[in-house]
Structure 1
Amino acid sequence: MESVILEEYSRLDLTARRPVLAILTIEDEVQLFRGNRSNFADLILMGQSMGFIVYVLTVKNLYLTRSQLRGFAYEEESQSWKLQLFPFPDIIYNRIPQREDELLPSVRKKLAACAKSSRVKLFNPSFFNKWHLFEWLKTAHTTKPFIPCTRKLVSQVGLGRMLRTHPYLYLKPESGKAGNGIMTIRVNGEKELPYRLKIQEDKKSATYKCSSLSKLWTRIQKQTAGEAYIAQQGIVLAAFNERRFDLRALVQKNGRGQWDITGIGARVAGSSSITTHVPRGGSIEDPEKLLISSFDADLARRILIRTKNTALLIAKQIERGSGAILGEMSMDLGIDSSGNIWFFEANSKPMKFDEPHIRKKSLERIFHYGLFLTQKNAEQAGGA
């Protein structure tokens, strides 16, 4: 059971010039706060080992005019959370877990105030919208070649036009994450029921066969229930043991404030899953091993180098397009049977990478970049 005791942080900690990072989340009446507690605990322990004061801060307890804020400390021995008074943060790390929480007017107001404040640096300002991502990336000649044909899904006519050019499509919710709501369409004119709609369901998928475009459209409308979707050219990915795989890149800013590759993992799709997400039945593999299984060793190594360079180009362009300070993102990149690289998705609030070497480095990088932001803020405040 989690204890809640309000204590003041020690006078030594308040007066020492240790950098302060607050992990921002949303309050919860039952659990005190929402979010991935094990991730928050890992962040706090890593930050403390690197000389930071780190605590969990709810939007409700965030006041930009105060010198101290109520936040949650993690006690490793008892694995419990304690409410304390902490110094006002130098950095606010946005880990509000749900898009709908982030869209609440009260939350949007405080995030906007943080973005404008000279007292604090905010990174991870918000979740990405899939349509905006592709719009930003299509505008730059450096990133446009990696973008599959993508359109808003708005009408039966538009869908039919796209299927004539691309008989294999992915349908994705603009505001979805972790593979939620994804569908695929395949058209085979030689079949009696030529339209095959596959819908992701937990760790498996359901397939519907339709005789006409109008019946397909009716089924899609029922499934989307008015939610905004995009339609995207389907890419036939390289496979391992007849199961598709993609690469998952984690890109973070380093201690110099520059984008850098923290690590690249690989995810193999489940036997009956549309996506490669592990919660959907996907599995973790070594990227070089998978690439060598599809290409020769030399080409596999060159593809991996190109993937890293591509991920950096994409991260820089997303930050330019968003007009915000970003500190990290994960992205899904596909490799087709010819070795071409394709961008599918980016997440401004990456989930934990299960690969131990990537996980450790990812935690360290948050505080390396946090220290960079703190020093930059101090220089600006001092007029340097």
Structure 2
Amino acid sequence: MDGVHHELASVVDIQTKRPVLAILTIDDEIQLFRGNRNNFADLITAGREQGFIVYVLTVSQLKLTRNSLDGFIYEEGTDSWIQQKLPFPDLIYNRIPLREDELLPEVKRKIAACLRNPRVILFNPAFFNKWSLFKWLRKTPHTRPFIPATRRLLSQEVLGNMMLKYKFLYLKPVSGKAGKGIMTILLQPEKTFPYRLRIQTDKKSITYNCGSLRKLWLRVRKECSGERYIVQQGIKLAAINDRSFDLRALVQKNQRGQWDISGIGARVAGSLSITTHVPRGGSIDDPERLLVSAFGQEEARKILNKTRTTALLIARQIERGARHRLVEMSMDLGIDHSGGIWFFEANSKPMKFDEPDIRKQSLDRIFQYSQFLLRKKAGKKAAPG
């Protein structure tokens, strides 16, 4: 353990020469801090390779007037996290893992203070809200065609009006994560109980058949249990062996400060699931393989190219809508039976991609973009007033 402390002390000695990035998370009484520890350790290693000092910092440890802060460094040899005095960060990468943590008053105050503070550059100030995303993307003709019809689920009347237009609907919590709380409604007019409601649970789904819109609405309201929901036109996705799939794009800023595709993965829905999320029984697959078997070689290539340009268009528009500097986002894009592309969701704090090439690129890009921002900041300082 002794060697660890010497090594870390020397890190602080050369603080003036190396850029510093802190991974922001929240305190935890039992385990020091919350968040995906493997991801944090990978970031620390990747940063070190690119000449950065990287450490984990909790909201309570972040004191904006200090020159050094208490933070946590990962020690590979002992597979442990060590608290250490570390230099104040040039960049703060927000990885607070849960929405409810980010909404705590002291957390909101600290993030607002970071955004105002010229000493520090903050990445990804907050989680996205589904309704805001659709509002921003509907604003421009460039992104509007990729957005399924979406309304706030405020009343039985809203639900009824959407059912008149679309026989298949998705209901999604505004602040949902990883497919939690998603429902679908299918209208089958020829049946005695024409409204079929499916509700996503942990690994499977539960189905209710309702005889009237009123009964359906009462059941939906009960399932929403006070959470805010949107109702959305259902898209019949392309499928392989009766299992639908969608594409997951990782979009990040590159070393030139521009949005770029770090990779596209594919997720196939579990046999009992209404979403493609891996924790809910979905599986990872190769997008090209799936698209080729669904559409043929030539068409698959066109769809994949169009997916790339669409993801970049959407990322730029989301950043404009958010009015904050964003560094990355993952997005779920569906491909319908005729090869049309649809936007379903974007996440400002992407989960780890399991595909090794995408994973490596995702880590490297964080530091390449950081270097770009720091050069730009240094250039401004050096410019004659």
TM-score surpassing 0.5?
yes
Aligned to 1:353: 353
CA drift of 1:9 comes to: 3.4
Q: Does the CA contact (< 8 Å) of 2:12 and 2:86 recur in 1? A: no
Q: Residue by residue, what CA displacement relative to the aligned partner does 1:86-121 show, whole Å, maximum 9, x if unpaired?
A: 110010000000000000110001101111111010
Cα distance in 2 between the residues matched to 1:320 and 1:6:
45
Verify the 8 A CA contact 1:7 1:83 in the aligned structure 2: no
Residue type matched to 1:374 in 2?
A: L
Q: Deviations over 1:12-52 (max 9, x none)?
A: 64444211000000000110000000000000011011100
Deviations 1:50-81 (A, max 9, x none): 10000000000001111001100000011100
Matched with 1:325 is 325
Amino acid at match of 1:186: L
> Alignment partner of 2:127: what SS?
coil
Measured in 1, the distance between the counterparts of 2:265 and 2:59 equals 33
Q: Could you say which residue in structure 2 is the equivalent of 1:34? A: 34
Partner SS for 2:175: coil
**Are the equivalent residues in 2 in contact too, given 1:269–1:277 (CA < 8 A)?**
yes
CA contact (8 A) 1:247 1:264 kept: yes
SS at match of 1:60: coil
Q: 1:73 corresponds to which residue?
A: 73
- What TM-score does the superposition give when structure 2 sets the normalisation length? 0.97
1:141-200 superposed Cα distances (whole Å, 9 cap, x missing partner): 100000000000000011001101011000000001100110000001100000011000
Separation in structure 2 between the aligned mates of residue 295 and residue 330 of structure 1, nearest angstrom = 24
User: What's the counterpart of residue 258 of structure 1?
Assistant: 258
Shift of 1:7: 10
* Residues 197 and 207 in structure 2, CA contact (< 8 A), matched pair in contact too: yes
Name stretches of at least 5 consecutive residues in structure 2 with no aligned partner.
none
CA distance in 1, matches of 2:275, 2:269: 6
* Partner secondary structure for residue 314 of structure 2: helix
In 1, the alpha carbon distance for the partners of 2:7 and 2:61 equals 15
Query: Following TM superposition, by how much is the alpha carbon of 1:211 offset from its aligned partner in structure 2, in angstroms?
Result: 0.6
1:339: how far off? 0.5
After superposition, give the CA deviation of every residue in 1:228-276 in whole Å (9 maximum; x if it has no partner): 0000000000001110000000000001110000000000000010100
Aligned residues of 2:66 and 2:88 also touching (Cα < 8 A): yes
- In the TM superposition, 1:1-384 aligns within 5 A as 9-10=9-10, 13-383=13-383
C-alpha separation in 2, matches of 1:7 and 1:14 = 11
- Alignment deviations for residues 192-221 of structure 1 (CA, whole Å, 9 cap, x no partner): 000011000111100011111111111111
- State whether residues 138 and 144 of structure 2, in contact with CA within 8 Å, keep that contact through their aligned partners in structure 1: yes
Secondary structure of the residue aligned to 1:292 is helix
- How far residue 6 of structure 1 moved from its aligned partner, in angstroms, is 12
* Equivalent pair of 1:14/1:87 in contact (CA under 8 Å): no
Q: Is the 8 A contact 2:236 2:336 kept in 1?
A: yes
Q: Tell me, in whole angstroms, the C-alpha distance in 2 between the residues paired with 1:181 and 1:133.
A: 18
CA distance in 2, matches of 1:180, 1:368: 34
CA distance change for structure 1 residues 5 and 15 in 2, over 3 Å: closer, same or farther? closer
Q: Give the residue type in structure 1 aligned to 2:70.
A: R
CA deviations over 1:296-317 (Å, ceiling 9, x no partner): 1001001000000000000000
1:378 positional shift: 2.3
User: 2:213 is aligned with what amino acid?
Assistant: L
Q: CA deviation at 1:283?
A: 0.4
Q: Counterpart of 1:10 in 2: which secondary structure?
A: helix
Does 13-22 or 351-360 show the bigger shift? 13-22
Q: What amino acid sits opposite 2:215 in the alignment?
A: K
Secondary structure of the structure 2 residue equivalent to 1:202: coil
Do the aligned residues in 2 keep the contact of 1:249 with 1:311 (CA within 8 Å)?
yes
Q: Distance in 2 between matches of 1:247 and 1:8?
A: 42
